[in-house]
Structures are given as structure tokens and as C-alpha cells.
């Protein structure tokens, strides 16, 4: 059965001057999938995510979301369509409270603006605000950050900040959420928590997830499918165990054998 992919990248290439960050990468993510992108450092994983979120425009190729071409849309328009993301390096608004941080995530969902908000009680803005607050509280409960709700985001521990950042992205109510190394720098316990949150987001909240992660254990445990990038090229794609069995992947990761630079023509797609 063929369904429209949630997200489809077709022959995406990205160049910065002479540096080829991505070369002819194509893949599709089905609705409801938990899709991971892995690869060595500098393989182009974050570049790929930035192309999807709109931070970069691909030099060639196109990206479509739910069947519509979004290659030339600005990042904020893509967020409006339902693509949320977190960042590899924490990017919280440090001086704001946790609550405000999450409320910013609801920006495009708030209908009332500067002028209509002034007639707060008349225009139903109050009702709207209450509804949003309730949803935000749901998200806060879900991610178990109730106790730091009023704290300044900049004062929290690293693991908590990562969680708040996830909460902010979730507040957007995206259909597709892009997680750039959600577990980097975490201890084992925090990683387990985060993995559970991601699975819940995917299964209970129905979000399609694209995740970049270095921790192979987690990736192999929770992903439905995995794509492997190396030097900006796709070298494998498929179910976790298939990918791990792939010779090119092992070579790229472990530096086995004589040839580390993988030529895409040689790379046999797995699935």
C-alpha cells in the first residue's frame, strides 16, 4: 500500500562554496515513523535537518512535506505547516522562564495579536489563553518538568534544559518533529528518560520523528528505520538491524578495511 510520505527529500545537494555538505540525498519518511539519521561527525546530518527546517536552502533537489513542495519556504512558514525542531547546541531563551519558553512555541497557534489582545475579555482572548495554558501544562506534565515551571531556563541543569527545549518544540504541535542529538551529553538515566519521551511522542502523540543521534544503542532500539550518511552521501537506509549488518556502514563507522571514503556508486542500498 502506497501512502503519501510525510516528508520526502529528492536528490538534495548542498554546497558551501567548494565544500559539498550533501550530495544527492533522497529519502522519504512515512507518517508515524520514527526515522533516525546517523553517521560520523561531519557527515551532513545536521545539514540535512537544516534543509528540512529551512535554515539552509538545498543547492539542488527538492523537499516536500505532505506532498507539497516546501523547498523555497522560509523557516517560520515551515513551522506554521507543522515542522518543529530542537537544536544540537541548546538554544533556549535563557532569561525567560520555562513557561515563557514553551509559550513562544505556541506563537503561531495564538490567534490573538497585539490589538485584539487588548480587548482581552471581550474578544475571547482570555478563553484562548486558558486553553493554551492547559495544553502547555499537559506538555509540562508529559515531560515531567512541573517543578521547574517558573524557573529561569538558563539556571537549569543540562538534562532539564534539553527537556525544556523538547517541550518548546512539542508546544508547536508539529506533525513532524526534528530532533538534533536529543541525548548528547546526557547520563544513562537521562538518556533512558529521553528515549521514553521520544517513543511516547511518536506513539501516543502521533508525531512523526526524524532524529539525529550518536548513541547507537538507543538508535537501534527505538528507530523504525535508519539512514546512514557519510561524507554527505547516503550509504544505507533500512531497518536498524539491516543497516548494522551493512558492510559500508561498518566501514564508515569503524574505519575497517582500506577504504574509508565510500563511493556512492559502490554503495548498495539495503532495503
Interface pattern 164-203 for other proteins (x via CB under 8 A):
----xx--x-------------------------------
Closest to other proteins by CB, 179 or 243: 179
State the number of CA atoms in the 13 A half-sphere of 85 facing the CB. 25
Verify binding: residue 96, other proteins, rule CB under 8 A. yes
Stretch that binds other proteins, among 36-44, 92-100, 143-151, 204-212 (CB under 8 A): 92-100
- Which of 12, 21, 98, 103 lies at the binding interface for other proteins (CB under 8 A)? 103
Q: What is the DSSP letter of 194?
A: H
Closest to other proteins by CB, 93 or 205: 93
Verify binding: residue 113, other proteins, rule CB under 8 A. yes
Residues 56-85 that bind other proteins (CB under 8 A): 74-77, 79-80, 84-85
Closest to other proteins by CB, 64 or 88: 88
In the bound complex, what is the minimum distance in angstroms from residue 173's beta carbon to other proteins? 10
- Which of 27, 35, 87, 197 lies at the binding interface for other proteins (CB under 8 A)? 87
- Which of 15, 112, 149, 224 lies at the binding interface for other proteins (CB under 8 A)? 112
Verify binding: residue 54, other proteins, rule CB under 8 A. yes
Closest to other proteins by CB, 145 or 236: 145
Q: Which of 192, 148, 173 is nearest to 80 (CA)?
A: 173
Residues in contact with other proteins by the rule CB under 8 A: 53-55, 74-77, 79-80, 84-85, 87, 91, 93-96, 100, 103-105, 107-108, 110, 112-114, 117, 168-169, 172
Amino acid at each position: 500500500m502506497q501512502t503519501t510520505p510525510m516528508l520526502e527529500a529528492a536528490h538534495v545537494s548542498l554546497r558551501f562554496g567548494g565544500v559539498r555538505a550533501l550530495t544527492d540525498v533522497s529519502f522519504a519518511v512515512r507518517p508515524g515513523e520514527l526515522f533516525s539519521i546517523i553517521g560520523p561527525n561531519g557527515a551532513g546530518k545536521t545539514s540535512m535537518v537544516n534543509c528540512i527546517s529551512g535554515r539552509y536552502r538545498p543547492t539542488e533537489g527538492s523537499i516536500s512535506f505532505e506532498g507539497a513542495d516546501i523547498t523555497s519556504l522560509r523557516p517560520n512558514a515551515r513551522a506554521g505547516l507543522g515542522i518543529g525542531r530542537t537544536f544540537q547546541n541548546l538554544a533556549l531563551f535563557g532569561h525567560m522562564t520555562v513557561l515563557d519558553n514553551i509559550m513562544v512555541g505556541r506563537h503561531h497557534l495564538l490567534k490573538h495579536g497585539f490589538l485584539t489582545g487588548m480587548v482581552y475579555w471581550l474578544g475571547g482572548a482570555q478563553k484562548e489563553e486558558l486553553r493554551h495554558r492547559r495544553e502547555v501544562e499537559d506538555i509540562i506534565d508529559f515531560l515531567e518538568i512541573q517543578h521547574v515551571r517558573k524557573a529561569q531556563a538558563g539556571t537549569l541543569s543540562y538534562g532539564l534544559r534539553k527537556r525544556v527545549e523538547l517541550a518548546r518544540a512539542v508546544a508547536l504541535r508539529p506533525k513532524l518533529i526534528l530532533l538534533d542529538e536529543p541525548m548528547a551529553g546526557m547520563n544513562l538515566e537521562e538518556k533512558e528518560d529521553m528515549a521514553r519521551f521520544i517513543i511516547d511522542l511518536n506513539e501516543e502523540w502521533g508525531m512523526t520523528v526524524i532524529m539525529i543521534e550518536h548513541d547507537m544503542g538507543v538508535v537501534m532500539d527505538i528507530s523504525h528505520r535508519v539512514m546512514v550518511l557519510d561524507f554527505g552521501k547516503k550509504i544505507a537506509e533500512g531497518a536498524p538491524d539491516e543497516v548494522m549488518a551493512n558492510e559500508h556502514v561498518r566501514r564508515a563507522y569503524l574505519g575497517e578495511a582500506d577504504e574509508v571514503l565510500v563511493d556512492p556508486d559502490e554503495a548498495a542500498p539495503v532495503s
